[in-house]
Amino acid sequence: MCDHHIWDSLSLNWVKFITTEAMEAIRSADILTIGPGSLYTSLIASLLPEGMVSAIEESRARKIYIQNIMTQPAETANMTVSAHLQAFVDHCGKTLFPTALVNTGTPSAAILRKYEQEGARVAEFDRKPVEGLGVTVIERDLLAEDVAIRHDSDLLAAALLEITAS
């Protein structure tokens, strides 16, 4: 079970509304992606300005959530992929991004140990609960591993192009 009760309620103290230009860009986009990034302090926070959720809903774009490879200590520790997606539903009222792109690459044991010492682990992909949220999952090896575990930008771009072409 994840303990993320400190994030049950988020609010904005700054940008309260999206601009007309941003709303039009979202509505006319061919693809909208969210992620990777800090779930609460980056991704969900970007959806909170008034008009953002409705602009995304009204867009005919292909909407894709890019799941973080690793959890983040103090923000998403022990959260599964479905828990990440449920957080969007909890804060936005619905599933805005009905496609999720999930990494299948496996980081090396040595670099995983480094992350685990910091309280991070690979975000567990729990397929049935994810699909229960009405989300279609696309699995790809997106791993770039050097001194950090991250998405390979070329593999990610190729996956997004493949998804949008289908």
In this prediction, residues 80-87 reach a mean pLDDT of 97
pLDDT digits (tens, 9 = 90+) for 37-68: 999 999 999 998 999 999 999 999 999 999 99
pLDDT score of 65: 98
pLDDT digits (tens, 9 = 90+) for 102-159: 999 999 999 999 999 999 999 999 999 999 999 999 999 999 978 899 999 999 999 9
pLDDT score of 5: 40
Q: Are 74 and 112 in contact (CB under 8 A)?
A: no
The verdict on whether omega for the bond into residue 98 sits within 30 degrees of 0, i.e. cis, is no
Q: Which amino acid is at 127?
A: R
Question: Comparing 1 with 43, which gets the higher pLDDT?
Answer: 43
The verdict on whether omega for the bond into residue 36 sits within 30 degrees of 0, i.e. cis, is yes
Tokens read off for 24: 């039009």
Q: Which amino acid is at 68?
A: N
pLDDT score of 118: 94
- Tell me the whole-structure pTM to 2 decimals: 0.89
C-alpha span between 52 and 26 (Å, rounded):
9
pLDDT score of 2: 36
